Structure formats: C-alpha cells, structure tokens
Amino acid sequence: MAKAREGGCLCGKVRYRALGPPNNVTNCHCRQCQMAAGAAFVTWAEFPAGAVAWPAETPLWYRSSARAERGFCPACGTTLTFRYLEGDALDIAAVTLDDPDALPPEDELWTASRRAWAPGDERLPRHPRERKPG
C-alpha cells in the first residue's frame, strides 16, 4: 500500500493527504515563490495531481502567472500548493507536512534570483532557472 502523508495550513482548516512518493522535491528561489510565501524560498514536493486529496476544505486558487496558479488557505493564508495550468502535477509546500522533515529537497531551482542571505542547501544540484530548458 502506498504511503500516505498528511499536512495542512497553520489554522488547520485546509488539510491534505498525499499518496505515494513525490515526483521530485525542490527548493524554489524564484521571485514569485518569494512573494507568494513571504519567504526567501519555498520547498515544493511535486506529486501526480491525482495523488493529492482534500478531505475537508480545499485551498483557494490564485492565478499567479499566465501559466500557473497557487493555492492557499482562505482563512489563514498559508501557502499550500502550486500547479501549472497545463500538466498533471500538483506541488505541495513540503514544510506544511505534519512531519516537515519527511521530504527534504533534492535540488535548487531559480538560484539566479535567490537572496544573498538565503543560500539554501549548498550540497544540492543548482539550476539558475527551471530544471529543464523549454
């Protein structure tokens, strides 16, 4: 049976369950993640969209760019999710897991816009922008 991981927002209104292993886990230093989370970077665990369930409330979605949207708790504002409009993946903010150490990052994206005082994890592979060109 696939391992289920649970998590949710600061106030507890929005809860999720993610089944099975993530596709990847990454620290994203892009400017949009910085602004959306009010933080230097966000650690995203990407799952197949169908692997993530919302037992009670669902996040509110905000169209953050021409090709992506972000989900947050409507009550407390916690940044919870990211997804491209095209595609079948859903990113969960890994630090919102009940076990926030369960899914450590494997690489770093958008280091071109990382803050000088927030170097992330120097041991990880780094990509100045997205992981794959195009």
Question: Which residues lie near Zn ion (CB under 5 A)?
Answer: 9, 11, 13, 28, 30, 33, 73, 75-76
Tokens of 108: 């770093």
Long-range CB contact pairs, 59-68, < 8 A, 24+: 59/14, 62/36, 64/32, 64/36, 65/32, 68/32
Q: How far is the CB of 87 from Zn ion (least distance, A)?
A: 15
Compare residues 3 and 11 and give the one whose CB is closer to Zn ion: 11
Compare residues 76 and 85 and give the one whose CB is closer to Zn ion: 76
Q: How far is the CB of 42 from Zn ion (least distance, A)?
A: 6
Q: How far is the CB of 4 from Zn ion (least distance, A)?
A: 21
CA 13, CA 124: separation in Å to the nearest integer? 34
Tokens of 107: 């690489």
Compare residues 20 and 58 and give the one whose CB is closer to Zn ion: 58
